[in-house]
């Protein structure tokens, strides 16, 4: 294909970045294409942590194809790193390769980079530019940017309901309100997250596995369970497979010792009311390099997360059906005034099978 503009070059780099959707965490999903005279002569995307970044992959691809990159233009979906982390700096490699121009979608918010990569390239005589398709690049790594800037993950709360807002009957029956297509789509959203969070109520009622299934992903999200009193049944399905992080408000119990002996980690974060301190949990998950947190919980924990300002985005699947009285999405208290309502804005609406998928973001999600 012929690249006729910076926008086209960056759009292709974003396509390459998306190929790393499920493998790069905790690193961002980055794509790079190298162009000479409108022709793509190398391309790549970031590999799993500790392996090559997108720029290195693109340079290797160009070399394998016998292409000379000297004087060519590289389109990268994030400013090339300029520090030694798990891998050497990509900015050094681009300078040594003799690129003529580097176009970045965004400046890296990582304090270890934050403009230094582009400055190094410019100091080496390479023409640099940034800000091309920045919004699209931001969306692809929204969790990484949230963690770099605020120390916590981007929190996406998923729920599925009938058109009249019921997630289950009063007795808990919920399989299935939405369609197989919506459930498959939900697994894809699970797979892109670094961790999945639920509460002890959901574990007791549904006995979920909370794994990403039907998605070609080599990594499973870490499973996080909010369980203030450590009431979890040791035989719960969620405790099988990879170890879980269980977040409690009590410490020193026999149950804690048993869970630790089984390989799970118990994180004790009590608040003044004897419950789990949810804002503190978000910061702890950020410290543990969780970029995107996917929540699938019951109405009470959903409401607590919303009340504490811990949720950035709702992922809602609505089925074209009416259920009548039943369990709701959020057990929020009644408002005294309509003016006190929590405001969101629609970010995306799509039909998935017979159902609607709505992405809505809270008004506190200001420009990053």
pLDDT digits (tens, 9 = 90+) for 181-218: 999 999 999 999 999 999 999 999 989 999 999 998 88
* Whole-angstrom distance, CA of residue 312 vs CA of residue 16: 26
- The one catalytic residue in 8, 15, 55, 265 is 55
DSSP 115: T
> Which residues have C-beta within 8 Å of that of residue 36, sequence separation ≥ 6?
67, 69, 71, 72, 73
Sheet containing 313-319: order of strands: 265-268, 245-248, 222-226, 195-199, 292-295, 154-162, 313-319, 355-362, 344-352
> Which residues have C-beta within 8 Å of that of residue 8, sequence separation ≥ 6?
none
What is the pLDDT confidence band of residue 169, given thresholds at 50, 70 and 90? Answer: confident
* Whole-angstrom distance, CA of residue 272 vs CA of residue 277: 8
Structure tokens at 180: 């197989």
* Whole-angstrom distance, CA of residue 347 vs CA of residue 358: 8
Tell me: pLDDT of 111 over 80.
Answer: no
Q: Picking from 11-15, 90-94, 338-342, which range would have the lowest pLDDT averaged per residue?
A: 90-94
The helix, strand and coil proportions of the chain, stated in percent and rounded to the nearest 5, come to: 30, 25, 45
Tell me: pLDDT of 315 over 90.
Answer: yes
What is the pLDDT confidence band of residue 96, given thresholds at 50, 70 and 90? Answer: confident
Structure tokens at 20: 């790393």
Query: What's the Cα-to-Cα distance from 225 to each of 36, 239, 291, rounded to whole Å?
Result: 50, 10, 17
Q: What is the pTM of this model?
A: 0.91
308 carries an active-site annotation: no
* 3-class secondary structure, 84: coil
Tell me: pLDDT of 59 over 90.
Answer: yes
Residue pair 162/316 in contact (Cβ under 8 Å)? The answer is: no
Query: What's the Cα-to-Cα distance from 223 to each of 123, 178, 232, 285, rounded to whole Å?
Result: 45, 23, 14, 12
Tell me: pLDDT of 153 over 90.
Answer: yes
Number of H helices, E strands in the chain: 11, 14
pLDDT of 86 reads 59
Cite the DSSP H helix spans in the chain.
6-18, 54-64, 90-97, 116-123, 134-140, 142-150, 180-192, 200-206, 254-261, 278-287, 299-307
**Alpha-carbon torsion angle 344, 11, 185, 46, nearest 10:** -110
What is the pLDDT confidence band of residue 120, given thresholds at 50, 70 and 90? Answer: confident
Tell me: pLDDT of 366 over 70.
Answer: no
Tell me: pLDDT of 83 over 80.
Answer: no
Mean pLDDT for the chain? 92
* Whole-angstrom distance, CA of residue 367 vs CA of residue 146: 11
Structure tokens at 63: 């070399």
């Amino acid at each position: 294909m012929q690249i006729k503009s910076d926008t086209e070059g960056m759009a292709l780099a974003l396509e390459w970045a998306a190929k790393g959707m499920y493998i790069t965490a905790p690193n961002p999903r980055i794509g790079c294409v190298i162009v000479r005279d409108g022709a793509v002569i190398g391309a790549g995307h970031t590999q799993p942590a500790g392996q090559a970044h997108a720029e290195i992959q693109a340079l290797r691809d160009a070399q394998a194809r016998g292409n000379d990159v000297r004087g060519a233009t590289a389109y990268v979906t994030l400013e090339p790193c300029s520090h030694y982390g798990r891998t050497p700096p990509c900015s050094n490699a681009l300078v040594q390769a003799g690129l003529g121009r580097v176009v970045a979608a965004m400046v890296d918010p990582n304090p270890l980079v934050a403009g230094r990569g582009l400055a190094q390239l410019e100091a080496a005589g390479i023409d640099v530019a940034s800000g091309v398709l920045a919004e699209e690049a931001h969306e692809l790594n929204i969790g990484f940017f949230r963690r770099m800037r605020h120390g916590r993950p981007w929190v996406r709360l998923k729920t599925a309901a009938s058109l009249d807002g019921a997630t289950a009957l009063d007795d808990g029956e919920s399989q299935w309100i939405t369609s197989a297509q919506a459930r498959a789509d939900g697994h894809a959203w699970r797979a892109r997250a670094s961790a999945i969070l639920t509460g002890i109520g959901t574990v007791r009622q549904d006995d979920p596995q909370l794994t990403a299934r039907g998605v070609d992903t080599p990594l499973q999200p870490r499973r996080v369970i909010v369980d203030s009193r450590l009431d979890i049944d040791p035989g719960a399905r969620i405790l099988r497979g990879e170890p879980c992080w269980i977040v409690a408000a009590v410490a020193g119990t026999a149950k804690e010792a048993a869970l630790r002996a089984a390989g799970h980690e118990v994180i004790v974060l009590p608040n003044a009311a004897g419950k789990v301190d949810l804002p503190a949990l978000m910061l702890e998950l950020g410290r543990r390099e969780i970029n995107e947190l996917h929540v699938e919980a019951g109405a009470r924990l959903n409401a607590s997360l919303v009340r504490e300002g811990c949720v950035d985005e709702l992922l809602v699947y609505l089925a074209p059906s009416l259920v009548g009285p039943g369990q709701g999405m959020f057990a929020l208290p009644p408002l005294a005034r309509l003016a006190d309502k929590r405001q969101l804005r629609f970010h995306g609406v799509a039909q998935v099978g017979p159902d609607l998928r709505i992405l809505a973001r809270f008004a506190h999600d200001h420009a990053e």
